[in-house]
Amino acid sequence: KISDKTDVYAFGVVLLELITGRKPIEPKRSPGEENLVLWAKPYLQKGKGAIEELIDPQLKCNLRYSNQIGRMIEAAAVCVTNEESRRPGIHEVIAILKGEEEPVFSKRKKSSFLGNGSVIDCYSQLQQSSEMKSHLALAMLGVSEFEDDDYLYVC
């Protein structure tokens, strides 16, 4: 029921943490900025053009590293896509991070990796008593064969 694609999502969150210097859930942030993935989605849609908005100011990166950071942003974006079936495998993510000319996943998947914003639309429906529960729910979107997902929220 939990698949490799769930791990890919989690890896995308780790990439976002490295890029932004933020934690996945920060309840003390202003509304709309508590969840790292949801905050980052609009910037991820810009791809490499979002480096300045996403990057942790403490990194003090220069243009020399912009290609590597851009690949990290692209990899994070495909990893945290809303539907499990559209997430790449970890080998495809590694290909992006290595800067290979043509990543293994198809252009069709690449062009639609961020979906149409439905992850943000459905977020309000997924809100539970805590942000952590909704963060897990986002990671599990599109995971097949769930008959009873109550066990996901056992802490």
Note the pLDDT tens digit of each residue in 38-68. 999 998 887 666 778 888 888 776 667 778 8
How confident is the model at residue 4, as a pLDDT? 92
Task: Give 141's pLDDT tier (boundaries 50, 70, 90).
Answer: low
One CATH from 1.10.10, 1.10.510, 1.10.3470, 1.10.1060 for 4-153: 1.10.510
* Rounded Cα gap, residues 101 and 111, in angstroms: 16
pLDDT at 149 over 50: no
- Segment 122-132 mean pLDDT: 37
How confident is the model at residue 91, as a pLDDT? 93
The mean of the pLDDT values for the chain is: 73
How confident is the model at residue 148, as a pLDDT? 44
How confident is the model at residue 94, as a pLDDT? 94
pLDDT at 108 over 60: no
Tokens of 50: 């979002």
Task: Give 1's pLDDT tier (boundaries 50, 70, 90).
Answer: low
DSSP string, 21-48: ---SB-TTSPTT-SBHHHHHHHHHHHGG
